[in-house]
């Protein structure tokens, strides 16, 4: 039986002013206050982290950053370090999101360095991986994911990765309205769990939480989450409205 506690994580991306973020966080706390069987996480923009942390402080809602740099400090204009995220109240950080890879030159190698920085800084990294539509149509899904996982986690041992979360987000399903079927998602999640077992052993493979992301919404979340190897969702658009996000959290 699956003993892994699911995570429903909202990635707000480049949305919400400070006041909007505070209001949304307050509403999410109200809507999800009675939830204990699911871990609730929101990742606001950097400008709202401290304010949102104050709003959720006495709730079960967790806070995450959307990215981090691999150095602790220095002349890196526009970047943010693990300690800075921690000081704002973050417990998690999203790393390697497809939009970071697509628009900002993120690579498997830089993802690896960011994961190292997150772990050293006491943050739980959420490693995002996924194939494009062209890669899926070419039958390259598993080879792409294999490379992203192996390169992204190169140099780590099983004990290093005890807190790691993986988020499978097929690029063709992010913000497009397209969603992997529950069977497609389960097939990939099973592959990823088997891949982790071969690389790091069954104990880590059985305990690691693997989230699905890609046009998850209230109408499809229950079916997706019914799959045995799906341990929650990393949600974009549907997390921006607290009511919609609350429905996702209450999927059970």
Report the distance separating Cα 209 and Cα 216, nearest Å: 17
- Where b means 16+ CB within 10 Å and e means fewer, 75-113 reads eeeeebbbbbbbebbbbbbbbbbbbbbeeeebebebbbb
* Helix/strand/coil percentages in the chain, nearest 5: 45, 15, 40
Active-site hit among 39, 97, 106, 189: 97
Active site residue 250: no
Active-site hit among 99, 106, 131, 169: 169
Tokens (6 digits) for 137: 């149509």
Active site residue 169: yes
CA-based max dimension of the chain: 49
92 pairs with which residues across the strands? 64, 124
Report H helices in the chain. 18-32, 49-56, 82-87, 98-104, 108-120, 133-137, 141-152, 182-200, 202-207, 221-225, 242-249
Residues noted as catalytic = 97, 169
């Amino acid at each position: 039986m699956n003993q892994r506690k699911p995570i429903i994580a909202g990635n707000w991306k480049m949305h919400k002013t400070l006041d909007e973020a505070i209001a949304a966080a307050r509403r999410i706390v109200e809507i999800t206050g009675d939830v204990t069987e699911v871990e609730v996480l929101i990742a606001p923009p950097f400008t709202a982290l401290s304010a949102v942390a104050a709003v959720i402080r006495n709730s079960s809602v967790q806070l995450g950053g959307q990215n981090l740099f691999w150095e602790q400090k220095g002349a890196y204009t526009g970047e943010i370090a693990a300690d800075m995220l921690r000081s704002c109240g973050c417990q998690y950080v999203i790393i390697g999101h497809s939009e970071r890879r697509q628009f900002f030159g993120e690579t498997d190698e830089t993802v690896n360095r960011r994961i190292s920085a997150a772990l050293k800084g006491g943050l739980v990294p959420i490693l995002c991986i996924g194939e494009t539509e062209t890669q899926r149509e070419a039958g390259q899904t598993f080879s792409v994911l294999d490379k992203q996982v192996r390169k992204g986690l190169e140099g780590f041992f099983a004990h290093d990765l005890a807190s790691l979360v993986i988020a499978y987000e097929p690029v063709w399903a992010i913000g497009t309205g397209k969603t992997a079927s529950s069977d497609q998602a389960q097939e990939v999640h099973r592959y990823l769990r088997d891949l982790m077992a071969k690389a790091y052993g069954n104990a880590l493979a059985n305990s690691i939480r693997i989230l699905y992301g890609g046009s998850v919404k209230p109408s499809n979340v229950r079916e997706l989450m019914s799959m045995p190897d799906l341990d929650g969702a990393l949600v974009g658009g549907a997390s921006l409205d607290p009511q919609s996000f609350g429905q996702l959290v209450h999927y059970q």
